[in-house]
Chains A and B, each alone.
Chain A
Amino acid sequence: MSVIYIFSYFVLFFVVLSIIGLFASWIDRKLTARIQWRVGPPWYQNFADIIKLSGKEVLIPENANKFMFIFSPILAVISSTICGSIIFLVLKERFGFGGDLILLVYLLTIPSLSIILGGSSSGNVLASVGISRELKLLLSYELPFICGIIIPAIKSGSTTSLIEIIKHQQIYGSNIFSLSGIIGFIIILISSCGKIGVVPFDLAEAETEIAGGSLIEYSGILLGFYKLAKSILFVVVPLFIVILYLGGSAINSFSGFLIFVVKYLIVLILITLIRNTNPRLRIDQILRFFWGWLTLIGILGILLTLSGV
């Protein structure tokens, strides 16, 4: 593959993922509004937000590390785009290799990493509180998240290839149709709420407490980049869960594509429901919850998987 070919592929994915992501965020916002008995924004609201932000002035704090401050939001966007591209390549082109599961797990930490670096480089006090929370959140959800990816990997014959996991599910039925599968699905669903950073785990931004936390100093298109990255994560993370637990069917035929979209929407709606029915947790509660109960249940899930239940 030549560089120009990959480059055009990347740009194409970036555009596609941004559009889908902004739509997904709209679904999330609209559903939230309906649950709260409001009308909600029109479908183009998120696009309008991004366009408006790109027209605004960029402010940089005096004490900020300029390089890190500007590069972090860009890093957030490109890393989430890479995750999305790999997942799309797996789904559409059937391009996969042993170990892409591990690569994705590691790549999915980079958006959080870039939020932390960006917040840290702004030199703001409230941003420091925000990144402190984000770091502990990262530590907390990572443990059950790992349990949640080990379960389907073992179920599909100890593989680390997403393609193999999909193929296995097409032959033997989705991973979720077993006791350990249900446990794994619940665990990974909750921990991915932390990964995306939505309520009840949005304490790193927490507008009402620390005024946006890590993002407090960001404005203009740089803030827009962070919003875009979060929207892309709204696509990537649910897709990842669909592949691991819900059969992750191929999207070559029209009916297959439709079923796939429905599965994706189910996961997205579940995340939105969790976010709308729970209050924001404190960091020590989150730590105890993730490292305590959720991990214990996760380990139980692995034991059940190994015994074939």
Chain B
Amino acid sequence: MERIIIGIFFLGFISGLLCRFIPSKVKYLKEIISGLVSIIYLAFSILLFKNTPYYITEIFLIDRFSIFISIFVSLFTLLTLIYSFSYFENFENSNRYYCYILWTLASSIGAVFSNNLILFSVFWGILAITLYLLLNISGEENAYPAKKTMIIVGGSDSFLIFGICGLIYLTGKYTITDISIFIASGLEIGIFFSLICASLAKAGCMPLHTWIPEISEKTDSIIMAYLPASLDKLLGIYLFSRILLNLFEYNPDFHSQLWFLLRLIGSLTIVCAVLMAIVQHNMKKLLSYHAVSQVGYMVLGISCANSAGIVGGLFHMLNNSIYKSLLFFGAGNIEKTTNEVELEKLGGIGKFMPITFLTFLIGSLSISGVPPFNGFFSKYLIYQGLFERTKSGDFEWSIWIICAMIGSALTLASFLKIIHSVFLGHKKDYLNEVKEVSLSMRIPVIILSSLCIIFGFGFIFPVRVFENSTNYILDKNFEYLIPSLNLIFVSLIFGFIIYLIFIGIKERKVGTFIGGEVKLKEMEMSGTEFYKTIEKERFFSRMYIGAKNKIFDLYDDFKRILFYIGQGIRATHTGVLPTYLTWILFGCILLFVIFMKF
């Protein structure tokens, strides 16, 4: 068994290397190799799921949870590869692209399956490097955001290593499943936070989120869909849940403040990120803020510390990666056909791209938590967890519920803004030639949107998997949702029947009526103007100005502090040689004096 797993890892790395050295001119070979490898990974994960529920050694940790994650990691890779078949057609850097994708796949599966802490940190480190390399593929414009990402994600990796060293120092053990620490002193809290820091930076939770919006503008949608939107969420929250559920023990007296802090981070992430999202003009940037905001739900859910919350948080992690990659693929479709991502310049293309439109709509409704799509059910479980906690009589829980629910309403509002300004609304004249994208770009969005529906109506299956793998069993109450779901299902069929009847009726086409006047260009209202009133409100306007000046960006704050400290030193760097020599002389004298004393 061990040999098979090691063989699988090497397959990914070696075939990646092979793709790297196939010249760009050779067509279809890289695509076939990478596609085959990802299919092998997928088949392997599914076979493991069916046949080997548990296989835990000192090196490997294969349980229901990790296998389930690995299935989706492989699935997302496969879909990304299918998508890139048309998206990266005639792309000069395609050999680098396929190589890094395969390395990412192999090291993600490695990280998920490893039980040894050091092995885990190695795979985790490789993931940071492949992320950096993949971001650099999109061109030189992406160099600064990629550097920022490397500093944030790589910097948090060093915290991970520090945390792992601490764990080994405290327990003397190297395996994840053997460790269970009871937090009692400052050192343990330090270890706890350094590990949490690594997981949250990967998932993109506030305040370590700034790399995701930064890279979103220049990076190709496909890479956004693959890494920050799906894989990084799966892995980051996977680590987060392992830290909270496996590595540390729950201590109600001491632990509660830590969990409170996590919940605070979660709810702040939900509300602040979504408030940033609704005022964006760039479609990809808007989506990237939502990628941040949704992490808040997972953190909030898992840090609820009851069955409904934990299972809901993990289910939300899965759902989020499904609809978020769907949405980024949709954005990629639009970018590919129109070469435009600015919302003001788009409009009315839903008619010409019906499949992209419908799948994007499904994704938007899922992320906003509209029943019966999958996003609703995970949020539903999280709310159940939160409501259950209000029994304690603490005021905080009501605030978390309000934050989570208003976050979901704001999400709906910002997605309706995209739908209005891109797919519906006023058609721009230059968009008359737009056509639906090719088949290979349609297949992934169709599969992902069907997953949104399947995990909506059939939410029991993933919930059961998360229940069994975490040993947090829900009470049977939530199964009573099913009759209501049947009702929704039947009513939707009823609605479609009525719709079909209407399609048959003869209707008359007319021009739009604007008080009898001719429509002018100035009259058109894009979705970007919807929330100007909110932006102008006193409280929000200050917040948005602050965000524009990057006050809430830890990376920039840190940079500012560094530059401030460095100001004095910089003044001495005049570029005049004699000045430097004088400084060196002073330095030598100083050293001399110091050493004389000893």
Contact = CB atoms under 8 A, between A and B. Distances in A.
A binds B: yes
A75 interface: yes
Interface string B301-325: 0000000000000000000000000
Contact of B478 (A66, A75, A99, A146): A99
A150 B490 CA distance: 30
Contacts of B181: none
Tier of interface size on chain B: 35 or more
Nearest to A284: B533
Contacts of B416: 113, 116-117, 120, 131, 135
Interface string A197-237: 00000000000000100001100001000000000000000
B507 A158 contact: no
Interface string B478-506: 10110110111011111100110011010
A58 B507 contact: yes
Interface in A99-119: 99-100, 102-103, 105-107, 109-110, 113, 116-117
A286 B391 CA distance: 33
A269 interface: no
Contact of A158 (B390, B480, B508): B390
Contacts of A105: 405
A63 interface: yes
A11 B531 CA distance: 39
Nearest to B485: A103
B533 A109 contact: no
Contact of B387 (A62, A63, A158): A158
A123 interface: yes
A78 B371 contact: no
Contact of A217 (B425, B498, B513): B513
Given A67-B354, A113-B370, A216 B484 contact: no
A108 B509 CA distance: 32
A256 B398 CA distance: 33
Contacts, number: 225
Given A63-B426, A103-B380, A109-B370, A6 B490 contact: yes
Contacts of A117: 416, 419, 424
Contacts of B357: 65
B258 interface: no
A146 B401 contact: yes
Interface stretch (B249-257, B407-415, B463-471): B407-415
Nearest to B387: A160
Contacts of A59: 507-510
B412 A154 contact: no
Contacts of A61: 509-512
Interface in A1-27: 1, 3, 6-7, 9-11
A157 B398 contact: no
B153 to A, nearest CB: 33
B417 A135 contact: yes
Contact of B484 (A77, A86, A306): A86
A135 B413 contact: yes
B529 to A, nearest CB: 7
A78 B186 CA distance: 57
B495 A74 contact: yes
B284 interface: no
B424 A306 contact: no
B7 interface: no
A274 interface: no
B369 interface: yes
A102 B384 contact: yes
Interface in A125-180: 125-126, 128-129, 131-132, 135-136, 138-139, 142-143, 146-147, 150, 153-154, 157-161
Contacts of A287: 533-534, 537
A291 B511 CA distance: 39
Nearest to A216: B513
A138 B416 CA distance: 12
B425 to A, nearest CB: 6
A297 to B, nearest CB: 13
Contact of B409 (A68, A98, A138): A138
Nearest to B508: A59
A142 B410 CA distance: 10
A183 interface: no
A81 interface: yes
Interface in B522-547: 523-525, 529-531, 533-534, 536-537
Contact of A65 (B351, B480, B534): B351
Given A61-B510, A78-B494, A1 B486 contact: yes
A62 B510 contact: yes
Interface in A62-88: 62-63, 65-68, 70-71, 74-75, 77-78, 81-82, 85-86
A99 B370 contact: no
A161 B387 CA distance: 11
Interface of B: 348, 350-351, 354, 357, 369-371, 376, 380, 383-384, 387-391, 393-395, 398, 401-402, 405-406, 409-410, 412-413, 416-417, 419-420, 423-427, 475, 477-478, 480-481, 483-484, 486-488, 490-495, 498-499, 502-503, 505, 507-515, 519, 523-525, 529-531, 533-534, 536-537
Given A74-B502, A110-B370, 15 more contacts: A58-B505, A62-B509, A67-B354, A78-B491, A81-B491, A86-B487, A95-B483, A103-B484, A113-B412, A131-B416, A135-B416, A139-B406, A146-B402, A154-B398, A222-B502
Interface of A: 1, 3, 6-7, 9-11, 57-63, 65-68, 70-71, 74-75, 77-78, 81-82, 85-86, 95-100, 102-103, 105-107, 109-110, 113, 116-117, 120-126, 128-129, 131-132, 135-136, 138-139, 142-143, 146-147, 150, 153-154, 157-161, 211, 216-217, 222, 283-284, 287-288, 299, 302-303, 306
Shortest 7 CB-CB contacts between residues of A and residues of B: A97-B480, A128-B525, A120-B424, A98-B477, A158-B391, A142-B409, A120-B420
17 contacts: A6-B487, A58-B508, A63-B426, A65-B351, A74-B499, A78-B492, A97-B480, A102-B380, A105-B405, A109-B412, A117-B416, A122-B512, A128-B426, A132-B530, A138-B413, A150-B401, A150-B402
